[in-house]
Amino acid sequence: MEKHIAEKADTMDTSVIGILGAGTMGSGIAQVSAVSGYRTVLVDIDARMLEQGLGAIDGNLHRQAAKGAIDEQCMRDALGRITTSGSLDALSDCFLIVEAVIEKKEVKQSIFADLARRVDPACILASNTSTISITAIAAAAANPERVVGMHFMNPAPIMQLVEVVRGLQTADAVHRTVIETAKRMGKIPVTVNDSPGFVSNRLLLPMINEAVIVLQEGVADAEAIDTVMKLGMNHPMGPLALADFIGLDVCLFIMEVLHN
């Protein structure tokens, strides 16, 4: 396995990255991948989601070009590197696939089991999960040593951090390749071990939850709570505003994972 991964890493400049899921995170990661020079395959079984995801990428890149953040040639080149498909078979040539679908363990396990049957045994299978155990996801896949967490922050094109999560069986070569790939994408990878919520959500969500409790108890109103954290703790966004940005359903799900 280590030898296969090393061989893939040697051809990284001409490799293809697959993104599974064309929602907010998937389309954002696809944009980052394409701008970084990777040929990028964006897959979603929902044709409407694919259309919306590609439209979001196109809009983002045009706005960046208008602001001078990228030149128009870079924008055209990035858009030209992206192909879309409704079939997992389109991912067969990828050296790395990043899954960014709904945060449900059973769904992710089913997808990884299916992917493992379809792609090269050396293909790295990464999950963008923000809280689900990488070891549990990997248990459903053949060669679990090739499974790793690659947790991008939202919005992926802007946020610098990528939390690289090592499952119990993640191979060293897989870890090294994902670190190198994240750096080529212009991100700052930070390695963490597999634990509920990893580092980001294990620290963030209890704070958000406590802010909700403070609001519920009438200690202060929502604006005051957010202002205290912004001005007193130098947070760019208050915890309640951030909860709305993340989505209250997602916050609840993460807290349930931490609780369980």
Residue 96 CB-half CA count within 13 A: 35
Q: How confident is the model at residue 13 (pLDDT cuts 50, 70, 90)?
A: very low
Q: How far apart are CA 69 and CA 84, in angstroms?
A: 25
Whether 3 has a pLDDT exceeding 70, the answer reads no
Q: Distance between CA atoms of 181 and 185, rounded to whole angstroms?
A: 6
Rounded to an integer, the average pLDDT of 129-135 is 95
With a pLDDT cut of 70, the percent of the chain lying above it is 95
Mean pLDDT (whole number) for 66-82: 93
Structure tokens at 203: 């620290």
- The CB-side HSE value for 195 (13 A sphere, CA atoms) comes to 9
Residue 97's beta-bridge partner residues? 18, 125
List active site positions. 130, 151, 163, 201
pLDDT digits (tens, 9 = 90+) for 138-152: 999 989 999 999 999
